Structure 1
Amino acid sequence: MAKKNKKAAAVQKPVVTEVAGVKSDLALAALVNEITTPNDTVLKSIGGRYDEYTALLRDDQVKAAFGQRLDAMVAKEIIVEPGGTSPADKKAAEFIKAQLEAINFDAACRKMAHAQFYGYSVAEILWAFDGMQVGIDAIKVRKFDRFRFDGAGRLRLITKTSPKGEFMPDRKFWVSTVETDNDDDPYGLGLAHFLYWPVYLKRNGLRFWAVALEKFGMPTAIGKHHPGASENDVANLLSLLSAIHGQAAVTVPEGQEIKLLEAMRSSGGDHKEFVAYLDAMIAKVIVGQTSTTDSGSWRGTANVHKDVRDEIIKADTDLLCGSFNNGPIRWLTEWNFPGAKPPRVWRVLDDNEDLDNRVKRDKTIYEMGFDPDVEYINSTYGGTWTKRTTPTTVNAPESPQFAERNPDTIDRAIEDELADWQPMMDPVLQPIFDLVEEAASFEEISARLPEIYGDMDVATATDKLQKLTFAVEVATRAGAELDGDD
């Protein structure tokens, strides 16, 4: 027993220090204080030239698909929510919201989102101090390739006077890096890595397609010369043919014949199909599918593809907002509101509910006996609505021969019975109300209605109906006797 207690007391404590960091990496240990290079194999194959990646954005499909991805992200509403419930937390959130409203934050986010393309992006925060608080004067997104990282992950600025890079001050730059399969590469791996070869093949495919169109569209010019013609005469003839027909020209001695076997259009494949295939590949790399960049997709498939694109946009937003929350937002909170929990900046990505479905649902609830208030109508459907006044209906005078007998007594009886009718019906209707709130469509309501019949509490209503039936029968007979009928 004592041995077991000793073993329990000797449980090893957790190791809180970093063990497998950069210093333990044989390839990076010597570069802790030196500039590192990206691990992007495609970038290495083109000599580390980021301008080749930038040239990819000139492709029409890349421009359209990536622009769609950026526009969809910045189109979402920005939300700033407090990091906690204390007054300081709420004040910090109000301060951050005012800071973002004072600058063109969407434009900065759109530029910083190019980290998804290149792997990383860098923005300089221009701070402003009014004597009491530190604020954001502007966010300047810089050319990312001017910056490098050393082995310790510190940001450096490459200049003519400092080719190894100058150390950048802390809490000055907002850096966003696309996640890779490890945390040791601060440069990330952007879409350009995966787009380089498809775009390269597409460009060459278009060039060969243009040559093929020229070959099939125009015949080759042939000029004949005498067998004893000098080289100068042959050159002059070829020059003349080239001036007439571009480069598709040949010269042959007179009396000799040259035949060219014209290739069939299908022998080398369809250029249009090849380019379309590469366009589809590019679209899949950028937005995960093709239907939101091309027309002609079936509606059901297009909806699924839109969901895929929305998931990608959500990931972009989470990455960008996460880096902003962990950087500038945290710094501003610690400077201006010590002890407060940093606010959270994010974007609303859920699409608004289809108003047609909302109208149908509200109409169903209205027909069940419930009136929406004006505040709900204005907040749901926008604008300023007022309840329409129902015109008073003037009843036509009743004929004396059909005048009701003792109407006041009957009206009072009906009002007395209706006074407690609603509480009795609540247990009956409550399962239906719950179903309407939970269901996502009218089809689901119709399908699940039979399931909830057993949950309706009709005992009280049944008892009341039996008593009312008996009372009506008694009252009817009593009235008949008073009139002398039967």
Structure 2
Amino acid sequence: MSTYQLVDPHGRPVSSASLLREEAAPTLTGVRSIWGEPVASGLTPARLARILHDAVEGEPGEYLALAEEMEERDLHYASVLGTRKRAVLAIEPVVNQPKNGTVDDKILDAVRDLVEAPIFEDMLIDVLDGLGKGFSVVEILWDHQATWYPREYVWRDPRHFQFDRRTGRELRLREDGSTEGRDLSRYSFIRHIPKLKSGLPIRGGLARLAAWAFLLKSYTLKDWAAFLEVFGMPLRVGRYNRSATPDEKRVLLRAVRDLAADAAAIIPSGMEIEFIEAKGGSGNAVFGAMAEYLDAQISKAVLGQTMTTDDGSSLAQAQVHENVRYDLLRADGRQVSTTLNRDLIHPFIAFNFGPQERYPTVDLPVAEAEDIKTLSEALNTLVPLGLKVAGSEVREKIGLSEPEDDADILRASAAAKPPVTEPGQAEAEPDDAGTEPATAQACPSCGGYHATARAGEEPDELDALLEEALQEWGTDLAPVLDQLQAEFAAASSYEDLKARLDRLAGTLDVGPLARRIADLALIARGLGDAG
């Protein structure tokens, strides 16, 4: 009896039992517990420095918890980080053939079904969690019925993983009683480590970059809240006589304090309370400016710019800054595509269709917004000069698809230039109204093109008159051309030629041409009067 051996994309055997087993499930207690103490509460500069140091030394638990809390506590950080994640999510995944070669259509269809599944987009959200923390891990829970297929993608708490202590680059699963953890099973996890900067992966998360701004902003908001609590409230001053006893002083103090909450108090005779109005509001400007400055730095760190989130002082500046965001988006899309192809697409194909010489790819292409007006003006200028442009390329840039055979096609207006019919070329198609369009025929005399009657119409007297006149154009223009050629031949420089042509103006022999035009106009007028 033959057995089927599951193999990976490189042809190496894979244990089916290991694929069907859930490996990184959390535990109630131990190193993989989902519970933990908050880190951001009472955070100080000394503690933050220790947390960041411990993360680099191989204990990233508190740093990862802080990164999670930063997204919950800082509205601006959560906004810009969410914007960067959602920008990638908005890209429609595309399944492409390998660059050098092709694969069977049934493989492409299977990959498209995998990508179009609703759980795929949810998995992308979890994969992009690595932007803030430096890495993210999603466990693939495989199911095997007729085919191998992910039945679920499960986000795993990054605190349940660690990097190896020798290189600081290999992700390992934390286990009780083991300082090194254990290897992650191949093809059971999607491991995304975005390359945002050179160095160790744990130092590359955006949360580490924004942590100090988060701490300073926390202090700023706390001081601002304390300032607002007392700003504008009148200062209450109690006055007592020199002979007042300690008990009387305590009564006066209690009365002054009660005024803040109850707005009512009683005091002994001989004592008085004075209200001093607070003036000036410079504290608002100081604290507000500090908070805005820190928000701007976070925007620069996460989005690479501030124009589309804070300032937006001009359209031109915003467009320049938007291009920076396109650079980040393209980089994020490429890195996520690389992760998905390595950890999901290639294993999925190998498990179901066997190892392939070349594998299709799932890409997240980012198309920049084209300036259609500028493109149209450039085409309108360059195409008549002979520039050859593929119609498919223009359609791609402006976002238009190739029309179907039975589609309602937009056509040029009736005022558009009539098409030119070259000798031997098929005549133009009728327009929508069923009227045959006018054509233009090459003239053997002048080498140009002249409009002719519509197809199916008999030439009239004016057509014959025009044809006769064109036979004599060389004779009529000969005196003018002879004079011009003589001046060109005699000129010694460009400036001399300009002077000669200026002197020649008004003396050209246009008599034969003028008489020809006058005769033609008279005959045409007579034909018109005669009906």
Q: Normalising to structure 1: TM-score of the pair?
A: 0.61
Question: How far apart are 1:293 and its partner, in Å?
Answer: 0.5
Given that residues 128 and 135 in structure 1 are in contact (C-alpha distance below 8 angstroms), is that contact kept between their aligned partners in structure 2?
A: yes
Corresponding residue number in structure 2 for 1:128? 143
Question: How far apart are 1:108 and its partner, in Å?
Answer: 1.8
Distance (Å, rounded) in 2 between the aligned partners of 1:275 and 1:373: 51
Q: Structure 1 residues 163, 405: closer, same or farther in 2, change over 3 A?
A: closer
Distance (Å, rounded) in 1 between the aligned partners of 2:468 and 2:88: 63
Aligned residues: 369
Given that residues 232 and 279 in structure 2 are in contact (C-alpha distance below 8 angstroms), is that contact kept between their aligned partners in structure 1?
A: no
Question: How far apart are 1:312 and its partner, in Å?
Answer: 1.4
Question: How far apart are 1:53 and its partner, in Å?
Answer: 2.1
Residue in structure 2 matching 1:277, options 279, 293, 304: 293
> Aligned pair 1:315/2:308, yes or no?
no
Q: Structure 1 residues 230, 385: closer, same or farther in 2, change over 3 A?
A: farther
> Aligned pair 1:48/2:62, yes or no?
yes
Higher helix share: 1
Residue in structure 2 matching 1:326, options 333, 342, 351: 342
> Aligned pair 1:245/2:260, yes or no?
yes
Residue in structure 2 matching 1:389, options 429, 432, 445: 432
Distance (Å, rounded) in 2 between the aligned partners of 1:286 and 1:362: 38
Corresponding residue number in structure 2 for 1:222? 237
Question: How far apart are 1:328 and its partner, in Å?
Answer: 1.7
Residue in structure 1 matching 2:122, options 89, 107, 116: 107
Question: How far apart are 1:290 and its partner, in Å?
Answer: 0.6
Task: Among all aligned residue pairs of Structure 1 and Structure 2, give the percentage whose two residues are the same amino acid.
Answer: 24
Corresponding residue number in structure 2 for 1:350? 367
Question: How far apart are 1:43 and its partner, in Å?
Answer: 2.5
Q: Give 1:431-446 correspondences, 5 Å limit.
A: none
Question: RMSD over aligned Cα, in angstroms?
Answer: 4.9
Secondary structure of 1:290's partner? coil
Given that residues 190 and 344 in structure 2 are in contact (C-alpha distance below 8 angstroms), is that contact kept between their aligned partners in structure 1?
A: yes
Corresponding residue number in structure 2 for 1:430? none
Return 46-55 or 168-177, whichever deviates more: 46-55
Corresponding residue number in structure 1 for 2:98? 83
> Aligned pair 1:144/2:187, yes or no?
no
Given that residues 292 and 306 in structure 1 are in contact (C-alpha distance below 8 angstroms), is that contact kept between their aligned partners in structure 2?
A: yes
Residue in structure 1 matching 2:133, options 118, 121, 127: 118
Q: Structure 1 residues 263, 352: closer, same or farther in 2, change over 3 A?
A: closer
* CA deviation string 1:421-451 (max 9, x = no partner): xxxxxxxxxxxxxxxxxxxxxxxxxxxxxxx
Given that residues 59 and 199 in structure 1 are in contact (C-alpha distance below 8 angstroms), is that contact kept between their aligned partners in structure 2?
A: yes
Distance (Å, rounded) in 2 between the aligned partners of 1:259 and 1:191: 50
Given that residues 92 and 337 in structure 1 are in contact (C-alpha distance below 8 angstroms), is that contact kept between their aligned partners in structure 2?
A: no
Q: Structure 1 residues 255, 103: closer, same or farther in 2, change over 3 A?
A: closer
Corresponding residue number in structure 2 for 1:292? 308
Q: Structure 1 residues 245, 380: closer, same or farther in 2, change over 3 A?
A: farther
Question: How far apart are 1:352 and its partner, in Å?
Answer: 4.3
Distance (Å, rounded) in 1 between the aligned partners of 2:360 and 2:74: 40
Secondary structure of 1:104's partner? helix
Distance (Å, rounded) in 1 between the aligned partners of 2:271 and 2:400: 92
Distance (Å, rounded) in 2 between the aligned partners of 1:381 and 1:277: 51
In structure 2, what residue type is equivalent to 1:139?
A: Y
Gap runs ≥5 in structure 1: 1-34, 395-402, 415-468, 480-486
Distance (Å, rounded) in 1 between the aligned partners of 2:348 and 2:158: 24
Question: How far apart are 1:107 and its partner, in Å?
Answer: 2.7
In structure 2, what residue type is equivalent to 1:342?
A: Y
Distance (Å, rounded) in 2 between the aligned partners of 1:201 and 1:56: 13
Given that residues 222 and 241 in structure 1 are in contact (C-alpha distance below 8 angstroms), is that contact kept between their aligned partners in structure 2?
A: yes
